[in-house]
């Protein structure tokens, strides 16, 4: 029996080590977020920070380069329409409708192309509601860096769900 336990522990240690090496070798391997009433998957090399204010909870995800993703969770009573939220965030500039695949059909929102320090950036806005909360999902990526970040941004969009 002792030999069986030792072999089991050794096998477990080897598997955990292999998984850790695979994660380091593949920075796009999935990591999972489960908290603040939401869940989603994101590339494990991206960094997550959480912030809370009186009116909302923020989950900020930093991707490669200047790519970022933010999730703001508000109560339904305090949540503006998606168009009002996007207009507020983009300083009333042109918003174009956009749709993308999502876990519950299609996710409709807005996309905004803007210049920051002479560089073209793409910002995408979506809203997902639960029975008592609204989540505003916002991705932002410099156009030149989009190819490096798009699969990670897509992963967050398509796996996001309220718990």
Q: What pLDDT was estimated at residue 163? A: 87
Q: What pLDDT was estimated at residue 75? A: 95
Q: What pLDDT was estimated at residue 73? A: 96
Instruction: Copy the structure tokens of residue 9.
Output: 């522990």
- Beta-strand ranges (E) seen in 76-143 are 96-102, 105-116, 119-129, 133-142
Q: pLDDT 10s digit of each residue in the chain, 163 long? A: 666 544 444 555 555 555 555 545 576 789 999 998 999 999 999 999 999 999 899 999 999 989 999 999 999 999 999 999 988 887 756 788 888 776 666 788 888 888 888 888 888 999 999 999 999 999 999 988 888 888 898 899 889 999 8
Set out the domains of the chain in order of their start, with CATH numbers: 29-162 (3.40.1000.10)
Q: Please, are residues 78 and 96 in contact by the beta-carbon 8 Å criterion?
A: no
- Rounded to 5 degrees, φ, ψ at 46 are -85, 150
Cβ-based neighbours of 57, under 8 Å, separated by 6 or more: 36, 50, 51, 72, 73
């Amino acid at each position: 029996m002792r030999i069986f336990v030792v072999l089991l522990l050794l096998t477990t240690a080897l598997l955990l080590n292999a998984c850790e090496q695979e994660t380091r070798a593949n920075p796009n391997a999935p990591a999972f977020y489960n908290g603040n009433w939401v869940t989603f998957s994101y590339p494990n090399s991206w960094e997550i920070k959480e912030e809370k204010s009186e009116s909302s909870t923020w989950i900020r995800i930093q991707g490669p380069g200047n790519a970022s993703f933010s999730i703001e969770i508000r109560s339904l009573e305090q949540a503006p329409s998606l168009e009002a939220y996007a207009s507020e965030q983009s300083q009333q500039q042109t918003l174009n409708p956009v749709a993308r695949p999502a876990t519950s059909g299609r996710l409709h929102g807005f996309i905004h192309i803007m210049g920051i320090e002479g560089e073209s950036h793409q910002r995408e806005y979506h809203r997902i509601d639960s029975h008592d909360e609204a989540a505003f999902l916002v991705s932002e990526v410099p156009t030149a860096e989009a190819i490096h970040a798009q699969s990670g941004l897509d992963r967050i969009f398509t796996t996001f769900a309220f718990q």
